[in-house]
């Protein structure tokens, strides 16, 4: 089993049902993927900054319970941990409101990598949410991906566009600055269009692969997913689940399934199928990562 390193922002999450808070949990794209990787039997390390508030304790408790290594997480005295509020609008729609301005994670900087050991890391995963948080987080993002590439560590990048943080042009710039370091680029259909201008996912796949990544994956929601490598285009169907649907976190789950399958030496078609299956498990659960499958469940289904 491999060691996956990732980094980014964590958010405490309140769920609202019928106008009232119904639960509290932890979110954050890269943290979600780290949890997924750990549940699937691999080692996961997550790096970030947290405040010294109650929400930070919730995050640390979650990391500990899930077996995610948090030694690279810094506590910022008097700092605040970000917050997200989710409200269900229909069986297929959830409204998310973010309160993250001035959070501890917004102060991430390139210096945070100092002293962090990457020697035994087998895979590095990042998302474009981190460079969207500000100049410091962007400098860290570029440094981590650059250092990983120099060490020969495969890098996966999930574009994870957040329009409330960065516009289309900003997303293109963030990807262009690091695409030479990326082994696997993951995006959804709309993000592929933003990056290339192509509405046809296969045209977008071809153009993105030509920019340098060994593999490009485009997630198509209920239509499954596509991946392109030197051998051509590969396809996988989505896994159907009954409503209500909880789409937030599905892409992070897909990334965890994909990464672990590749680390285990599975063919690209199997990696796509595992990614789609993990995504469906999360879509069926209201939490960002609470629906992640365990290794035991994966093996039961595979059998």
Q: Give the pLDDT of the chain (303 residues) as one tens digit per residue.
A: 899 999 999 999 888 877 777 778 898 999 999 999 999 999 999 999 999 999 999 999 999 999 999 999 999 999 999 998 888 777 667 788 888 888 999 999 999 999 999 999 999 999 999 999 999 999 999 999 999 999 999 999 999 999 988 999 999 999 999 999 999 999 999 999 999 999 999 999 999 999 999 999 999 988 889 999 999 999 988 777 656 555 666 889 999 999 999 999 999 999 999 999 898 877 656 555 667 888 998 888 878
The candidate with the shortest Cα–Cα distance to 28, out of 102, 95, 81, 93, is 81
Determine the pLDDT at residue 288.
57
- CA dist., res. 178 & res. 193, Å (int): 19
SS (H, E, C) the chain: CCEEEEECCCEEEEEEECCEEEEEEEECHHHHHHHHHHHCCCEEEEEEEECCCHHHHHHHHHHHHHCCECCCEEECCCCCCEEEEEEECCCCCEEEEEECCCCHHHHCCHHHHCCCCCCCCCEEEEECHHHHCCHHHHHHHHHHHHHHHHCCCCEEEECCCCCCCCCHHHHHHHHHHHHHHCCEEEEEHHHHHHHHCCCCHHHHHHHHHHCCCCEEEEECHHHCEEEEECCEEEEECCCCCCCCCCCCCHHHHHHHHHHHHHHCCCCHHHHHHHHHHHHHHHHCCCCCCCCCCCHHHHHHHHC
pTM to 2 decimal places: 0.91
Determine the pLDDT at residue 200.
96
Burial per residue of 149-175, b for 16 or more beta-carbon CB atoms within 10 angstroms, e otherwise: beeebbbbbbbbbbeebbeeebbbebb
Determine the pLDDT at residue 238.
74
End-to-end CA distance of the chain: 19
| Domains of the chain with bracketed CATH | 3-294 (3.40.1190.20)
Tokens of 253: 């789950």
From the candidates 112, 183, 252, 288, give the one annotated as an active-site residue.
252
Does 252 participate in catalysis according to the annotation?
yes
Confirm if 11 and 81 have CB atoms less than 8 A apart: yes
Determine the pLDDT at residue 246.
57
Determine the pLDDT at residue 214.
97
Determine the pLDDT at residue 242.
59
């Amino acid at each position: 089993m491999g060691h996956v390193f990732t980094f980014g922002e964590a958010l405490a999450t309140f769920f609202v049902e019928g106008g009232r808070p119904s639960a509290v949990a932890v979110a954050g794209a890269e943290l979600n993927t780290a949890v997924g990787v750990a549940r699937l039997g691999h080692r996961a390390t997550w790096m970030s900054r947290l405040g010294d508030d109650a929400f930070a304790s919730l995050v640390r408790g979650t990391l500990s319970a899930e077996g995610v290594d948090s030694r690279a997480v810094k506590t910022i005295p008097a700092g605040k941990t970000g917050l997200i509020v989710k409200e269900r609008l229909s069986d297929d729609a959830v409204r998310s409101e973010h309160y993250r301005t001035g959070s501890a994670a917004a102060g991430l900087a390139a210096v945070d990598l100092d002293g962090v050991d990457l020697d035994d890391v087998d895979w590095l995963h990042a998302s474009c949410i981190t460079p969207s948080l500000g100049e410091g987080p962007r400098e860290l993002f570029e440094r981590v991906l650059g250092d990983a590439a120099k060490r020969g560590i495969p890098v996966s990048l999930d574009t994870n566009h957040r329009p409330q943080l960065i516009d289309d042009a900003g997303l293109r710039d963030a990807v262009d600055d690091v695409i030479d370091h990326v082994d696997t680029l993951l995006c959804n259909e709309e993000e592929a269009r933003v990056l290339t201008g192509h509405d046809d996912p296969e045209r977008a796949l071809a153009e993105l692969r030509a920019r340098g990544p060994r593999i490009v994956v485009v997630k198509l929601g209920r239509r499954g997913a596509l991946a392109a490598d030197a051998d051509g285009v590969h396809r996988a169907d989505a896994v159907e689940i009954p409503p209500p649907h909880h789409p937030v976190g599905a892409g992070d789950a897909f990334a965890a399934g994909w990464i672990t399958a590749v680390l285990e030496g599975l063919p690209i078609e199997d990696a796509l199928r595992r990614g789609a299956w993990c995504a469906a498990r999360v879509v069926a659960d209201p939490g960002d990562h609470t629906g992640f499958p365990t290794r035991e469940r994966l093996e039961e289904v595979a059998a």
